[in-house]
Amino acid sequence: MSKVIIIGAGGVGTVVAYKCASNSNVFTEIVLASRTKSKCDDIVKKIGAKNMKTARVDADNVKELVELFRREKPDLVINVALPYQDLTIMDACLECGVNYLDTANYEPKDVAHFEYSWQWAYREKFEKAGLTAILGCGFDPGVSGVFTAYAAKHYFSKMETLDIVDCNAGDHGKAFATNFNPEINIREITQNGRYYQDGKWITTKPLEIHASLNYPNIGPRDSYLLYHEELESLVKNFPSIKRARFWMTFGQEYLTHLRVIQNIGMARIDEVDYNGTKIIPLQFLKAVLPNPQDLGENYKGETSIGCRIAGKDKNGNEMTYYIYNNCSHEEAYKETGMQAVSYTTGVPAMIGAMMFLTGKWKKPGVFNVEEFDPDPFMEQLPLQGLPWVEVINEPLEVDKIG
Ligand code: NDP
């Protein structure tokens, strides 16, 4: 018997709810809670599972969270609200003796700053309480860390370079839309780029470094170097890595819109006065952009996300390794009513929860996914809709850049 509370009824929360419901042998009771209860009610009605119910909670408010956790007594909270709520939810978990899982590192609302320090600082408190917190269990971060841990366990004696490559070759037919929460997405992309080289972090201007990379079943796509949070934990947990980078594809149309949004001040995250009302331009923009949850219906094409790793194999010989998943927007939509970006995030979050509830990923403290055994998670990925493919000792392309 295990009970989970899913917090957040957005695109990712919808997929997590579907997948938990379809694994009812593990998830015997499910509560879907969000700021707007009607959204949870609609999702639960569509899924139609008997073991699900809904609740309203403001996850910025520890007291409300504590009331909910005391009432429902879950074993685990799956946090798929926004990164701003990570710490309040972790505080409430500690107060009520509940385990924790999320898909994105904590960000303060007033500065777009991505680092694990705030959440790693909870390690001792979770340890003392005998509770598990699993951080960053979506696709990237998430599966990207599990893929890296799998490569380290089964193939490499020494991993030297890691390039995480994230391609969305889908077409939703809109001039401009983001694939997950627009506010979080635009904050991430408009930041300086950053990568790890020989023990140091090197900062670039936003989207300064780019290259054309080939993606399986897709072909060449312009790929841009971004900072991404899993780089921080992966270079710490695999110290042999000398260079770690993250690449994401963007089309020219998307980048032109993004440039205009920034140039006219709509990406600002500070308050401005509008007719006596304080508004944050980026939050206002979110309200007028297409809702990522509504993109699924006409979305065509697929995503391809993977890790390209070079180093020495178990016998000390040079080795390259590429492991990836391709996910079809149409297939994701058919199964859950959501597009592949929400799907590739929600499925791993459910699998991470399953790993905890079945005792495979359970230890007191705060951990990134690569600190657990990757094998049982890798076994579940194809069974739950995310098959993976390995390519061994083929050129990686990325070694020619930089
Ligand atoms: P959405 O904006 O679609 O959904 C967020 C949900 O959180 C909404 O239902 C919203 O409620 C709810 N929420 C926001 N604030 C609160 C609050 N204070 N209290 C309770 N509920 C709240 O986002 P996505 O589903 O696209 O993304 C969810 C998370 O997944 C984000 O943290 C994102 O960064 C992460 N993500 C991770 C990825 C990965 O690979 N690791 C990839 C993509 C996303 P309401 O609708 O009522 O306002």
Has residue 402 got a pLDDT over 80?
no
- Residue-wise pLDDT for 241-277, tens only, equals 999 999 999 999 999 999 999 999 999 999 999 999 9
For the chain, give the percent of residues with pLDDT over 90.
91
Whether residue 246 has its Cβ less than 6 Å from ligand 1: no
Atom 23 in ligand 1: residue holding the nearest Cα? 181
Q: How far apart are CA 347 and CA 343, in angstroms?
A: 6
| Predicted confidence band of residue 114 (pLDDT cuts 50, 70, 90) | confident
Mutate to test the pocket of ligand 1, among 345, 350, 381 (most ligand atoms within 8 A of CB): 345
Provide the H-helix boundaries in 267-363.
281-288, 329-336, 340-357
pLDDT at 187: 87
Mean pLDDT over all residues of the chain?
96
**Residue 19: predicted pLDDT:** 98
- Report the atom number in ligand 1 closest to the C-alpha of 345: 40
Q: Are 329 and 170 in contact (CB under 8 A)?
A: yes
Q: Which atom of ligand 1 is nearest to the CA of 143?
A: 40
For residue 84, the CA-to-ligand 1 centroid distance in Å is 10
Question: And the tokens for 180?
Answer: 């997950």
Q: Which atom of ligand 1 is nearest to the CA of 292?
A: 3
Identify any residues that bridge with 323 across adjacent strands, giving them in sequence order. Answer: 307, 390
Q: How many whole angstroms from 8 Cα to the centroid of ligand 1?
A: 5
Across residues 167-193, what is the average pLDDT? 90
Q: How far does residue 393's CA lie from ligand 1's centre (Å)?
A: 38
Query: Quick one: pLDDT at residue 399?
Result: 83
* pLDDT, tens digit (0-9, with 9 covering 90-100), for 3-27: 999 999 999 999 999 999 999 999 9
Q: What is the pLDDT of residues 324-361, one digit of tens each?
A: 999 999 999 999 999 999 999 999 999 999 999 999 99
Distance between CA atoms of 308 and 399, rounded to whole angstroms?
A: 10
* CB-CB neighbours of 163 under 10 Å: 25
Q: How far is the CA of 335 from the centre of ligand 1 (A)?
A: 20
Q: Give the angle subtended at the CA of 350 by the CAs of 377 and 78, to the nearest 5°.
A: 125
pLDDT score for 231: 98
Determine the average pLDDT of the residues in 206-219.
96
Please indicate whether residue 340, judged by its CB atom, sits closer than 6 Å to ligand 1: no
For a ligand 1 pocket test, name from 16, 57, 82 the mutation site with the most ligand atoms within 8 angstroms of its C-beta: 82
Which helix (H) or strand (E) segment holds residue 92: the answer is helix 86-96
Which residue among 5, 6, 12 has the greatest number of ligand 1 atoms within 8 angstroms of its CB, and so is best to mutate? 12
Indicate which residue's Cα is closest to atom 8 of ligand 1: 10
